[in-house]
Amino acid sequence: MPIEAKTDYRRFLRPEVIAKLANMELKARFVVEGFLVGLHRSPYHGFSVEFAEYRQYNPGDPVRNIDWKAYGRTDRYYIKQFEEETNLRSYILLDASGSMAYHSKDHLSKLEYASYLAASFGYLMQTQKDAVGLTVFDTAVRDERPPSSTRVHLFELLRLLENTEAGGETGTARVFGEVAQRVRRRGLVLILSDLYDDPEAMVRAVKQFRHRGHEVIVFHLVDPAEISFGFQAETIFRDLESGKRIQTQPWAIREEYQKRFLEYIDYMRFELEDAQVDYELIDTDKPFDVALMAYLHKRRKLS
């Protein structure tokens, strides 16, 4: 059932609200509908019409295909997007390594957030008749579904996401290299990961997608505590992938930790954007529309 316009749509974009819904299909549907309702009620109204159902009229298009109702609502010319025109292929790469299980108090784990986001991308793409595929990985590819635009395929992806659990060490750089060689048809690559791997190797691996003509968005997922490092008491930290433990006084290393963390983010952002890769830092407290808007802008450029 669609979200009514009078509903507070933004609550369906909050991670803690979505987490309470029964299954992955409901989660994805409510995020996407909340997102589109929000666009219709914002200055991006015309943008959302164009994205969700139509494309803008271009010189040379048959005048008979203009949708005059859309013109009446937006004062802009649109034509209906026919199914054969929406042939973008998207590849979602989901990091399910052990570090993605981390979450601080009252927040989703990074994997939960990434899975809900991947489901929302899939739902939105299927609505547009775009083909979407999914690769789940840790040190190697754990599961993979090639792109398709069918409804049955979408439900397969949603089931896979619902059953994915975090575990294993990280092999991001190697996996990206393998996937880049298999994905031959150009498309849009969406990477959802906390990027805990050798940074130089990761950047080289992501660049392989660009060398093969793909557009790429990297969603760098972090927990708010990984940014603030606001731990107060003496703490034992455990590596969720190797199991190693270290006991420390957080207040004694906080300043140095934050400095190095920001340096790492700056390095990834600079290197990726230099390679014409979109980089989005997403903490798991943010509403889902932040990432969806980044995708929407990229999708519009590719239309």
Residue 128 tokens, joined: 């547009």
Burial of residue 292, with CB atoms counted within 10 A of its CB: 0-12 exposed, 13-18 middle, 19 or more buried? buried
Task: Report residue 221's pLDDT band, with 50, 70 and 90 as the boundaries.
Answer: very high
Q: Check pLDDT > 90 for residue 300.
A: no
Q: For the residues 53-78, what does the mean pLDDT come to?
A: 63
**What is the C-alpha separation between 296 and 286, in angstroms, rounded?**
17
How high is the pLDDT of residue 184? 79
CB atoms within 10 A of CB 179: 21
pTM (2 decimals)?
0.82
> What is the dotted CATH code of the domain comprising 86-302?
3.40.50.410
Residue 64 tokens, joined: 């008979």
**Beta bridge pairs of residue 143:** 136
Residue 255 tokens, joined: 């300043």
pLDDT > 70 in the chain, percent: 80
Task: Report residue 58's pLDDT band, with 50, 70 and 90 as the boundaries.
Answer: low
pLDDT digits (tens, 9 = 90+) for 241-256: 777 888 888 888 889 9
Is residue 191 within 8 Å of 217, Cβ to Cβ?
A: yes
For the chain, the structural domain boundaries read: 9-84, 86-302
